[in-house]
């Protein structure tokens, strides 16, 4: 199984909605969504669309970045409202970084009955109360234990094998967009080919965005499109960065997008990559010489990655 | 009451951050100013002040403003003085725009005035260095034809020795007045349509093209920017520049001017108010905050 880890921003959620009709396979894909914006309307829209395809979302109830840090109560209320409306494809999910998260888990899970109806954990760091946590998860309905790759050795033995997942951050973020031109084609990850043999039920990643969190952003000088693809020669996912040519100012974003897009389309033709929904959209934008905005570019990148992985597992 | 005590650099810096556009903007969007008032009282040493204490927030800011005018003339003081004692003095606000922090090329002009004429003001306070001045001037002359340096009289000689003769000079006098030392000489030599276009928003540069040639380029979206620039590059640069100024003047905000010239605002807030383009609600919130009783 694959858990794409997404921050609940507008274009990430639209990516999920538009992918749903692919259709997403509920036995292969369960997105993790960390809500980061006050007002959970766009999450509820995504849940509704995914529900039609029986795809679940692991909704983080204790986000660590964004506007909802510390607002667990709000998110819990949201989950109850959704369930009351028949939207039951939510798996309440807890980020575990410290002992206070363990306490929160136990309180919330018991209050809300998640200990029986099911919940999931994402282990970002080992905690002092590890034994207690381990026992709690084995005694209650803990569906998934996704472990950050840095702590796999210490933590995997503490949780039931059939619940184990591995979370890796494979995207190498550059300081500014133009810097992607220094390394246009990089290895991304081979987890999707090996995770089962290595004793995991699941693997997870942050797609072509990475774990690091930045609120807002500046207008970039260079436009970059990130595209993951399967290495034709071996079991590995690579990532290619398509960078615009004229990058000394923040002007003419549309023209720069077209420069990057032209490279992407040529690349897809050359490698004869299979058309994903996103690649089809990129081809269409290229043919029409249209510019949809940078948010849509990010959306298409995410959609492409999830579709690629679903086809490989 | 007249401020007399002296303050150390750290206190003045803190005070300067409270007397700034960033700080004043908040006066228009929240009725709760207790943190702001507390910080300001702390940095002027309210508890140790022995003379009559300011009664309302407006008086308190005014008192802080006077301290800064005497001991730490930062950029806001210059900008506010430029607006109050030069622009509002000599120009009709209904037909004038004063742009703040206007980006031209790699530089940001402190203020740009457009009326029948155009004037860029580069402010060099006593806290600034002449660093980057040359590249800033080079950028400004790509879009505008008159540039003024606005500096304190004590720095006049230093700047005169490095300024080209066509750059005008305004001085901040010992008495706290604005005086013209020499006028700028019109310089069209370096005008460049690509810099003008780059400083405009899309609807503005579209209008610039449309007004000049009567039509918009019919190209796909990704080539639109380049097509507009190609059109502009083929026209006489003086025509482009004069229409460019005309288009920037559309940023004049009548309502802001009305509130500004009505005179209900204390003069220290004028520059910030002018930039922020307040609606009626924000305006009233600000007036209300300023009259808040402190005692």
**Inter-chain touch B222–A251, beta carbons under 8 Å:** no
Name the more confident of B31 and B148: B148
Distance (Å) from the alpha carbon of B198 to chain A's nearest alpha carbon: 7
**Inter-chain touch A252–B226, beta carbons under 8 Å:** yes
pLDDT of A217: 66
pLDDT in tens, A157-172: 999 999 999 999 999 9
Per-residue pLDDT averaged across A263-282, rounded? Answer: 97
A248 and B CB contact within 8 Å: no
pLDDT in tens, B53-80: 788 999 999 999 999 999 999 999 999 9
CB burial of residue B237 (10 Å; 0-12, 13-18, 19+): middle
- What is this structure's pTM? 0.84
Token duo for residue A84: 């009351």
**A216 has a pLDDT exceeding 70:** no
Residue B51 to residues B8, B47, B69, B246, Cα–Cα distance (Å): 20, 11, 19, 51
pLDDT of A218: 73
Residue in chain A nearest B202 by alpha carbon: A252
Chain B, window 130-189: residues with a beta carbon less than 8 angstroms from a chain A beta carbon: none
For chain A, the average pLDDT equals 94
A249 and B CB contact within 8 Å: yes
**A23 has a pLDDT exceeding 80:** yes
Q: How high is the ipTM of this complex?
A: 0.79
Q: In which residue are the tokens 């005169």 written?
A: B160
Calculate the CA B98 to chain-centre distance: 7
**Inter-chain touch A290–B225, beta carbons under 8 Å:** no
For residue A258, the chain B residues in CB contact (below 8 A) are 222-223
**B1 has a pLDDT exceeding 60:** no
Distance (Å) from the alpha carbon of A90 to chain B's nearest alpha carbon: 38
Distance (Å) from the alpha carbon of B150 to chain A's nearest alpha carbon: 28
Whose CA is closest to A17, among A47, A41, A54?
A47
H/E element holding A233? none
**B3 has a pLDDT exceeding 80:** no
Q: Contact at 8 Å (CB) between A159 and A137?
A: yes
**Inter-chain touch A251–B221, beta carbons under 8 Å:** no
pLDDT of A293: 93
pLDDT band at B4 (very low <50, low <70, confident <90, very high): low
Per-residue pLDDT averaged across B250-271, rounded? Answer: 92
**A249 has a pLDDT exceeding 60:** yes
pLDDT in tens, B169-211: 999 999 999 999 999 999 999 999 999 999 999 999 999 999 9
Residue in chain A nearest B197 by alpha carbon: A251
A293 and B CB contact within 8 Å: no
Whose CA is closest to B205, among B189, B220, B217?
B217
For residue A289, the chain B residues in CB contact (below 8 A) are 220-223
**B246 has a pLDDT exceeding 60:** yes
Q: Contact at 8 Å (CB) between B91 and B124?
A: no
């Amino acid at each position: 199984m694959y858990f794409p880890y997404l921050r609940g921003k507008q274009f990430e959620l639209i990516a999920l909605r538009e992918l749903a009709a692919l259709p997403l396979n509920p036995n292969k894909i369960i997105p993790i969504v960390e809500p980061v914006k006050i007002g959970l309307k766009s999450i509820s829209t995504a849940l509704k669309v995914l529900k039609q395809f029986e795809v679940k979302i692991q909704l983080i109830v204790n986000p660590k970045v964004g506007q909802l840090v510390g607002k667990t109560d709000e998110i819990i209320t949201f989950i109850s409202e959704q369930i009351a409306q028949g939207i039951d494809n939510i798996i309440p999910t807890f980020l575990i970084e410290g002992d206070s998260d363990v306490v929160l888990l136990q309180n919330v899970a018991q209050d809300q009955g998640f200990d029986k109806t099911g919940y999931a954990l994402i282990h970002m760091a080992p905690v002092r109360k590890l034994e207690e946590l381990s026992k709690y998860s084995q005694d209650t309905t803990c569906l998934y234990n996704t472990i950050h790759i840095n702590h796999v050795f210490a933590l995997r033995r503490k949780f039931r094998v059939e619940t184990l997942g591995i979370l890796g951050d494979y995207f190498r973020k550059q300081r500014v967009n133009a810097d992607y031109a220094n390394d246009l084609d990089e290895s991304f990850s081979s987890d999707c080919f090996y995770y089962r043999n290595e004793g995991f039920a699941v693997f997870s990643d942050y797609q072509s965005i990475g774990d690091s969190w930045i609120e807002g952003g500046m207008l970039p000088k260079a436009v970059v499109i990130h595209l993951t693809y399967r290495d034709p020669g071996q079991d590995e996912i690579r990532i290619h960065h398509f960078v615009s040519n004229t990058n000394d100012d923040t002007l003419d974003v549309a023209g720069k997008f077209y420069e990057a897009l032209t490279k992407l389309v040529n690349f897809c033709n050359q490698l004869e990559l299979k058309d994903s929904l996103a690649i089809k959209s990129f081809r269409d934008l290229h043919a029409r010489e249209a510019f949809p905005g940078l948010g849509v570019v990010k959306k298409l990148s995410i959609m492409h990655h999830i579709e690629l992985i679903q086809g490989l597992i | 009451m007249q401020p007399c005590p002296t303050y150390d650099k750290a206190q003045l810096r803190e005070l300067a951050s409270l007397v700034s556009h960033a700080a004043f903007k908040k006066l228009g969007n929240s009725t709760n100013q207790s943190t702001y008032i507390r910080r300001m009282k702390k940095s002027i040493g309210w508890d140790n002040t022995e003379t009559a204490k300011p009664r309302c927030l407006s008086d308190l800011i005014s008192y802080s403003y006077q301290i800064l005018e005497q001991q730490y003339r930062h950029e806001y003081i210059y900008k506010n003085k430029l607006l109050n004692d030069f622009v509002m003095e000599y120009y009709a606000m209904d037909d004038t725009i004063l742009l703040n922090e206007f980006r031209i090329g790699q530089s940001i002009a402190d203020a740009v005035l457009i009326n029948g004429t155009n004037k860029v003001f580069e402010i060099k306070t006593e806290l600034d260095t002449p660093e980057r001045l040359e590249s800033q001037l080079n950028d400004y002359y790509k879009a505008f034809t008159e540039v003024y340096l606005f500096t304190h009289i004590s720095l006049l000689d230093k700047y005169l020795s490095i300024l080209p003769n066509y750059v005008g000079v305004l001085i901040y006098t010992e008495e706290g007045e604005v005086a013209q030392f020499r006028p700028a000489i019109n310089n069209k030599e370096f005008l460049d349509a690509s810099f003008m276009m780059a400083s405009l928003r899309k609807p503005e540069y579209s209008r610039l093209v449309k007004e000049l040639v009567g039509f918009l380029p019919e190209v796909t979206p990704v080539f639109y920017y380049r097509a507009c620039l190609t059109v502009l590059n083929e026209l006489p640069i003086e025509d482009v520049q004069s229409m460019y100024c005309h288009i920037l003047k559309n940023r004049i905000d009548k309502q802001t001017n009305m509130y500004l010239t009505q005179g209900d605002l204390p003069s220290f807030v004028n520059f910030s108010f002018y930039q922020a383009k307040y609606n009626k609600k924000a305006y009233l919130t600000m007036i209300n905050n300023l009259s808040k009783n402190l005692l």
